[in-house]
Structures are given as structure tokens and as C-alpha cells.
Amino acid sequence: MQIKKMGVRPRNLSDFVARLQASGRYTFHREEAVSALGVSEIALRSSARRLAAKGRICAPRRGFYVIVPVEYSQSGAPPPSWFIDDLMKFHGQPYYVGLLSAAALQGAAHQQPQVFQVVTGITLRPITVGRTRIRFSLKRHLAETPATEVKTETGAMRVSTPEATALDLVRYVGSAGQLGNVATVLAELSEKINPKRLVAAARAEVELSVVQRLGFLLEHVASSGIAAPLAEWLATKRPRPVPLRPERKPKLTERDSRWQILVNEQVEVDE
């Protein structure tokens, strides 16, 4: 939205925010507000602090502002889905909503995630916006991960596909709780997983051990048909045995020859 095209300069920051909201926008950055209002950055920061104190806006990052509609005044901010795409454009970084947040969007919401999880290509500090905490996971080969656009209340956001979500849950098991929680989510997510697309997503996974662990878990929580094509593809890669829990040294444990997994933990699925 170009404020100057309205013909009349906004009277103040509150007026600027009201015009943005009326047009369906809920974010803005410092430079466009300075330009629209014709004020200095110092004056804008002062106005922004006053408006934030009233609960009208919040600032997840310095120079990036989110408008808080009245229905979210108690929580201090609208849901991250309203502004995550704009926030990542502000950072100039590719991203996708992933892990438990993606799984919940795909119907695997056994436990409502406590944080909104985003995967991106750089290290970003977690942020708290209102009552919601946003946590970022670093992934070097982000572009190869299958993702799709999902419509939101204010536009769209990128979300990993069910197949990519499943792989990421195993790759970032520490961010997904523990193996038992991952297995529980996979049991619900498996209904959305396409076996052929799962193999395609696995081809983009740089760590073969992640594919091995996912295959093992899927076979134990879902129908055998989902994991069968993955097992066939994996066999052509001749993987080396890896422990199910990599941080725990394998002892004399059971070995799953199909997935080349050293079963050093018994995984239980929550009912």
C-alpha cells in the first residue's frame, strides 16, 4: 500500500496505522512510516513507543511493526500466521513454517505446540510477540525442502509439506519434544503423507540417517504401505547402521535390518 497515493498525508502514526488496517495490512516497517509521515526516525520511534504502550502495535524486530486489532488486544498481538511472511521478507530470508506448527496445520495436533516454529536459512534469535513465542531452526539446504503456500487471514505463508514435515520432525527431534512425541505426531500425520512424495522429499535430505530414523518410526506407527517405497529407495543407498537416538551410545541392542537402525530406545506412542 502506498499511503501517498491517498492524496492526503496521514496526520500522525495512529492515523497511518488506521489506514493500513483499513486496507487489510497489519505490518509496516520504519522506513515506509517515516516516508509517509514526513518525520525523522527519532520522532517515529517516540510515536511508536506511545502507540505500543496503548497496545495498538508491537515490534517483533527493531524497525518492523505489527498492528494489533482490537480482538487481539488482550493477547498483545495477532497470531504469527498474520505476519510471519512479512517478517521474513523484512529479514530478506526464505523460510517455511515447519515442525510441530506445520504438523498442527496439517491436522496432527495431538498436543498444541507451545511455540510457533519456523525454519530458515540463517540463525535468528527467538522472539516473543504478545503471548506467542516464535522459534527459528537453521537449515542450510532450505531451497530443496518441499513447501507449499497456505492462505492466511492476511495473505499467505509457506508451510512444509506433510512429507517434509515428517523428515524435519526427526531431523530436529530436540525441537519436537522427544522420540515418543515425534512418533505420536507421525502417527497422526501419516494420514496426509503420500509415499511417492515422501521418497522425493527424502532425496532432498542431505542426512541419510534422518531418512533411516523416519522410516523406522513410520513403520511402527503407520500402515506398512506408507514406508515401503521409502525402504526400497533407501536400500539402493546402502546406508550404514545408525542409532535411533544419536546422542545415546548404542550397546548390545536390537538391530533393524530394513532401516539399518540400532534400536537403543523403545518408543511409546501416546494414545
Q: Per residue in 209-242, pLDDT tens?
A: 999 999 999 999 987 789 999 999 999 999 999 9
Q: Which helix (H) or strand (E) holds 129?
A: strand 127-129
Q: How far apart are CA 20 and CA 183, in angstroms?
A: 44
Q: Per residue in 26-83, pLDDT tens?
A: 999 999 999 999 999 999 999 999 999 999 999 999 999 999 999 999 999 999 999 9
Domain ranges in the chain are: 3-72, 80-263
Output the pLDDT for position 110. Answer: 63
Q: Per residue in 154-172, pLDDT tens?
A: 999 999 999 999 999 999 9
Output the pLDDT for position 34. Answer: 97
Query: CB atoms < 10 A from the CB of 262, how many?
Result: 20
Q: What is the mean pLDDT of the chain?
A: 92
For every residue of 134-196, DSSP letters joined together read EEEEE-TTGGGS-EEEEE-SSSEEEEE-HHHHHHHHHHTGGGG--HHHHHHHHHHHGGG--HH
pTM summary value: 0.91
- The x, y and z cell numbers of residue 33, run together, are 512510516
Please say whether the structural domain 3-72 has been given the CATH code 3.20.20.150.
Answer: no
Vertex 173: Cα angle to 61 and 251 (nearest 5): 150
CA dist 84 → 32, 127, 136, 164, 207 (Å): 18, 12, 11, 19, 28
Give the residue carrying C-alpha cell 540463525. 123
For residue 103, give the nearest of 13, 29, 164, 20 by alpha carbon.
164
